[in-house]
Amino acid sequence: MFSMGFNQSGAFVRVLLAMFAVASALYISWPALRWRFSANLATCGPCVCHCPPPLSLETIAPGLINLSIPDCGRSDPELHKEMKKEFLELLKEELHLREVVVVESNKHTNLTVVEAQRLASQYQKEAEKCNAATETCEEARERAEELLRKERKITSVWEKRARELNWQGE
């Protein structure tokens, strides 16, 4: 009996969910469907609008269409001269300026390289001095070791003679 009630309530829930899905779909799509069907059934006449014509750029700012203002640069002779230059002249000036920048950059690079070479030479001289001092110290150490060996031999000989003469030591 319990299993039969569960199957009936499950079917009931499914039917309710299906009805809810259909109702939701109709609710969401109803405005579009209504507009489509009403457009086919009834046609309305042309709309009558009394809107002013849209403003054009020429009416808002005359002279801005060609992006130049007629008086631009006339009061400043240098600016007027600059504005009259041809494209080729401007291109030549640009190339000249780039050449100047390259020359200055090369000068700076050359100075940097020369300074680096000078410092490398200085460090090389310091390293050579250090190596020479190390060699001198090494030679002095070797001489000192040789003298110490000779001194130990002499000491050993004298100590042996002293023992032969019955010296007890300290």
Q: What's the pLDDT band for 2 if we cut at 50, 70, 90? A: very low
Looking at residue 43, its pLDDT comes to 58
Q: Residue 30, SS3?
A: helix
Decide if 65 contacts 58 (C-beta within 8 A).
yes
Contact residues for 82 (Cβ-Cβ < 8 A; gap 6+): 73
Predicted pLDDT at 166: 84
Whether the predicted model's global pTM rises above the 0.75 cut: no
pLDDT tens for each residue of 69-93 = 556 556 777 777 777 777 788 888 8
Q: What are 123-142's pLDDT values in tens digits?
A: 999 999 999 999 999 999 99
**Domain map (residue ranges) of the chain:** 112-159
> Is residue 64 scored above 70 in pLDDT?
no
* Residue 139, phi-psi category: left (phi > 0), alpha (psi -120 to 50), beta (remainder): alpha
Q: In angstroms, rounded to a whole number, what is the distance separating the alpha carbons of residues 166 and 160? A: 10
Residue that wins the pLDDT comparison between 51 and 43:
51
Distances, alpha carbon 33 to alpha carbons 101, 137, 147, in Å: 70, 105, 117
Give me the pLDDT at residue 131, please. Answer: 93
Tokens of 137: 């110290």
> 73 with 83: CB under 8 angstroms?
yes
pLDDT top residue among 6 and 103: 103
From CA 116, how far away is CA 151, in angstroms rounded?
52
Per-residue pLDDT, 158: 92
Average pLDDT, the chain: 81
Confidence of residue 152 (pLDDT cuts 50, 70, 90): very high
DSSP string for 137-160: HHHHHHHHHHHHHHHHHHHHHHHH
Q: What is the pLDDT of residue 155?
A: 94
